[in-house]
Amino acid sequence: MAQIGYICSVMENYLERKNPNVAVIGAGSWATALAKLLLNNCGEIFWYIRNKRVLESIKTTGHNPLYLEDVHFDTSRLKISNDINKIVDAADVLLFCIPSAYFMSEVSQIRNLKDKFIISAIKGIIPGDNITIAEYFHRVHKIPFSRIGVISGPCHAEEVALERLSYLTLSSKYRETALRLCKLFSCSYIRTISGTDIFGVEYAAVLKNIYAVAAGVATTLGYGDNFMAVLVTNSFHEMRRFLHVAHPDSERSTTKSAYLGDLLVTCYSKFSRNRTFGTMIGKGYSVRSALLETKMVAEGYYGTKCIWELNQKFNVYMPVADAMYRILYGKENATSVMKELTSKLE
């Protein structure tokens, strides 16, 4: 009973306030879209922006000069700083939107996360440690899962910014917490879905980026829609096998939008940076050149290595993810690897 009372107290303090103190950590396209989204339900938000040029531009013009430039912010409702601890100390709810490759360099600066509610909108995994964002906060900072939430679903920042109808899944260990998170993000153009499968949606978000890279490679190499349907279908089954072994959950339904939907949009959408990255690899770009050309972080590149390393323990049959590892890290010829992969799909 004491534990239940504590959970309810946390939710009341952090998620039921009329104007909760919410901070966005990061200033990329997804962070910018979510900052716009939060202002539908928050009187003001705190915002950590490391890049001084971006910070000054938003303060003076209300626009992010690097991402989603058409989004305009009412600057009177923004509390912006490039001091991460100033922002963290001022807020109760912290929304992390930092690319996984830079996550540790930013979070390591934070002095105190005690009593904070953490929400991860990071669709990646921490390189080297090979743990998800929720796992990191729970293991390293001892934050209970009752104070951790995860955002997932088939939502490209560009369409959220354009206010096109989108569906977000808000997951937390406790359904009551997830439902309150839904209220924080829902609006006329965002439908929210509550969930409790924190690890499943985090790993699914990592995997779908890898498969989007594969889709981009295949497209450039001349494979058509017929093959793409087979590739995505096999990728979905591969994802499901991995999730079942890595984090079994009898209530998980991988056909829902946070899993299958996110996979589909990332593999097919023109807004998919991972698919774009894959098309460049298929054209013969080096990994370094492709990463520089996209100008945004392709989480699928980093995720490929993390999942491959994790799977040395799980030993799940993953021919698509393995093929991407051979191309991106083994530096094998993309044409040859993809041709070999075709014989393993069904």
Which residue of the set 173, 208, 256, 305 is catalytic?
208
Assess whether 305 carries a catalytic annotation. no
Return the percent helix, strand and coil in the chain, to nearest 5. 55, 10, 35
Query: Identity (one letter) of the amino acid at 146?
Result: S
Could you tell me which residues come within 8 angstroms of residue 309 by beta carbon, excluding any fewer than 6 positions away? 130
Q: Yes or no: say if 210 and 320 are a contact pair by the CB < 8 Å rule.
A: yes
For the sheet with 148-152, list strands across it. Answer: 78-81, 45-48, 22-25, 93-96, 117-120, 148-152, 166-172, 190-195
- The residue with tokens 């504590």 is 6
Helices (H) and strands (E) in the chain, counts: 16, 8
Contact 174, 7 (CB under 8 A): yes
Separation between Cα atoms, residue 108 and residue 73, nearest integer Å: 29
Angle, alpha carbons 152-158-160 (nearest 5°) = 55
Q: Tokens standing for 78?
A: 């923004």
Tell me, rounded to whole angstroms, the distance of Cα 311 from its chain centroid.
20
Query: Directed axis angle between helix 100-107 and helix 133-140, to 10°?
Result: 20
According to the 3-state scheme, what is the secondary structure of 83-148?
A: CHHHHHHHCCEEEECCCHHHHHHHHCCCCCCCCCEEEECCCCCECCCCECHHHHHHHHCCCCHHHE
Please, is 332 exposed, middle or buried when counting C-beta atoms within 10 Å of its C-beta (0-12, 13-18, 19+)? middle
Query: How far, in Å, CA of 240 to CA of 218, rounded?
Result: 22
The residues facing 150 across adjacent strands are 120, 171
- Which of the residues are catalytic? 208
